[in-house]
């Protein structure tokens, strides 16, 4: 699901932006490699899903490194997710001087189970096309997205495979979130709250709204990824998810290679 969504997202990149970033998406075994030579962001230059279906080979690590090196990049990452080869892949990476650098935590819950959230003055609306400018504005501010990528952000905000939600306090749109449903599985992501409106319950209300929608759609499971717990790092998103019945499934560590 994650690989399909990532592939779809990159396919939406406007041609001019793709040319400027020298963007590339490549299958490596059962993983997916994304590359943007015009950016040093690890989120743009990383591999996900490698080995999740048991199709990784040690030589693929060297193949991946060669691809990024040929593009002139100085660093890239490999996200090690759950799967039958996770331990083996970790060993291959460490043997090649990849170093761990944070990662993600995956949480899930039974989408059919009831839940409660505190009363709040936050209202949630499913975004319509008329709301896209407000939605994009919040995304840009929450995730520090450059204006040069606005067309890509707009394209991603309007595709039918996602439902987008806006949270309001009074007449002000203060937070956004996304929902993707495939079969009986729902993914919750893309959530952000404007800094000055945090701690007002917007995220919890958005989680609840998407869980209700997933249940109505007949979903069995709902899953989400958030930053892995780390000392000194705020874990508000994680606390909200746990309070609404999500449980830890696995860690997805990121291993970074600095190319010499």
Low-confidence ranges of the chain (pLDDT < 70): 232-234
**Which residue carries 């291993």 as its tokens?**
255
Kindly state whether residue 239 falls inside one of the protein's structural domains: no
Q: Per-residue pLDDT tens for 94-147?
A: 999 999 999 999 999 999 999 888 788 999 999 999 999 999 999 999 999 988
Residues 201 and 150 in one domain: yes
Nearest to 226 by CA among 200, 248, 198, 197: 248
Q: What pLDDT does residue 19 have? A: 97
Kindly state whether residue 186 falls inside one of the protein's structural domains: yes
The CATH code of the domain that includes 17 is: 3.40.630
Q: What pLDDT does residue 234 have? A: 66
Q: What pLDDT does residue 210 have? A: 97
Q: What pLDDT does residue 117 have? A: 81
Q: What pTM was computed for the model?
A: 0.92
Is residue 228 within 8 Å of residue 90, measured between CB atoms? no
Q: pLDDT > 70: what percent of the chain?
A: 99
Kindly state whether residue 198 falls inside one of the protein's structural domains: yes
Is residue 258 within 8 Å of residue 74, measured between CB atoms? yes
Kindly state whether residue 203 falls inside one of the protein's structural domains: yes
Q: Report the distance separating Cα 84 and Cα 51, nearest Å.
A: 7
- Alpha helix (H) ranges present in 47-148? 58-70, 86-95, 132-143
Residues 89 and 127 in one domain: no
The CATH code of the domain that includes 147 is: 3.40.630.30
Q: Report the distance separating Cα 117 and Cα 19, nearest Å.
A: 46
Residues 100 and 72 in one domain: yes
Q: What pLDDT does residue 167 have? A: 97
3-state secondary structure of 98: coil
Q: Report the distance separating Cα 96 and Cα 255, nearest Å.
A: 11
Kindly state whether residue 130 falls inside one of the protein's structural domains: yes
Domains of the chain: total: 2
Kindly state whether residue 71 falls inside one of the protein's structural domains: yes
Q: Give me the domain span that covers residue 204.
A: 112-219
């Amino acid at each position: 699901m994650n690989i399909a969504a990532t592939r779809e997202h990159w396919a939406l990149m406007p041609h001019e932006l793709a040319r400027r970033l020298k963007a590339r998406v490549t299958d490596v075994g059962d993983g997916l490699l994304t590359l943007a030579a015009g950016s040093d962001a690890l989120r743009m230059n990383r591999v996900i899903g490698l080995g999740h279906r048991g199709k990784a080979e040690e030589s693929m690590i060297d193949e991946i490194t060669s691809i990024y090196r040929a593009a002139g990049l100085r660093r890239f990452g490999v996200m090690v997710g759950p799967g039958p080869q996770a331990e083996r892949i970790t060993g291959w990476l460490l043997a090649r001087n990849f170093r761990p650098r944070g990662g993600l935590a995956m949480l899930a819950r039974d989408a059919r189970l009831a839940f409660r959230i505190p009363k709040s003055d936050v209202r949630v609306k499913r975004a319509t096309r008329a709301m896209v400018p407000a939605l994009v504005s919040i995304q840009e501010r929450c995730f520090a997205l450059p204006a040069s990528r606005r067309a890509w952000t707009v394209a991603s905000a309007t595709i039918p495979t996602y439902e987008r939600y806006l949270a309001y306090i009074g007449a002000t749109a203060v937070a956004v979130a996304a929902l993707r449903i495939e079969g009986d599985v729902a993914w919750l992501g893309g959530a952000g709250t404007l800094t000055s409106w945090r701690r007002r319950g917007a995220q919890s209300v958005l989680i609840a709204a998407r869980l209700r929608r997933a249940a109505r759609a007949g979903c069995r499971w709902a899953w989400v990824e958030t930053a892995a717990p780390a000392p000194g790092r705020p874990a508000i998103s994680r606390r909200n998810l746990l309070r609404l019945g999500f449980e830890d499934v696995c860690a997805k560590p990121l291993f970074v290679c600095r190319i010499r």
